[in-house]
Amino acid sequence: MDARAMSAAAGTPLPSSVEKLQSALTAQARRQTAGLGCCFGEAPRSIICAMTDSVLLDAVLRPAPPLSPRVLGAILSIVALMNFAFALYFVSRGAWPVMPFMGLDVALLAWAFRAVTREAKREEHIRLTPSLLRIEARPPDGPVRETEMNPYWVRVAMDKPPGRASRLTLWSHGKGVHIGGFLPPEERASFAQRLMAALSAARNFRLE
């Protein structure tokens, strides 16, 4: 029972100073209760967004960079000159059918250099937050392929022992996504460990 109720029950009027003090204490208690509700009840929206948008892993996977175009051009020129010299030698000996094959060697080497340079533009962007794992695969040409997964259900599978044919696969709900196929085996295995640690942190983050 508060002071006003006790005064009314006793039949004595409550002094105005006591009434003002009780009102001030009541207002202060309400402010403290509201503050506790903000801190221990529902968190502000900005705090929730900051927690769920925390980046646990942000990596871009790319193939090993090729030699510069100038170096590739120099190698191709040297090989072409050597093949031309050999072709002239064989033609002088009467073995002219060899000459087209010498030219084919240079053409195949040029195609291989072009393919390596083109594949070097491929990349995969892996971004992990406590609420989302996003994979953006950018081919040398064509549209970007995006895959989104719930980190809680993602399982990382890496073939052992790591080799050129081993695969790094992300499984979720029976569907698998291969990533890092262009990386050397050691780098692929190292990134698999980093990704597993980040996914474990994401699950613990959501449980806290």
pLDDT in tens, 35-87: 433 333 344 443 334 445 688 999 999 988 778 888 888 999 999 999 888 88
Look at residue 50 in the predicted model and tell me its pLDDT.
43
Q: Which amino acid is at 133?
A: L
Q: Taking Cα atoms as reference points, which of 121, 151, 146 lies closest to residue 54?
A: 151
- pLDDT beneath 70: ranges in the chain: 1-53, 206-208
Q: By the 8 A CB rule, do 151 and 132 touch?
A: yes
Residues 6+ apart with CB under 8 A from 154: 133, 170, 171, 172, 199
Measured CA to CA in angstroms, residue 184 lies from 25, 57, 118, 158, 169 at distances of 70, 20, 18, 13, 15
Is the whole model's pTM more than 0.75, yes or no? no
Look at residue 123 in the predicted model and tell me its pLDDT.
93
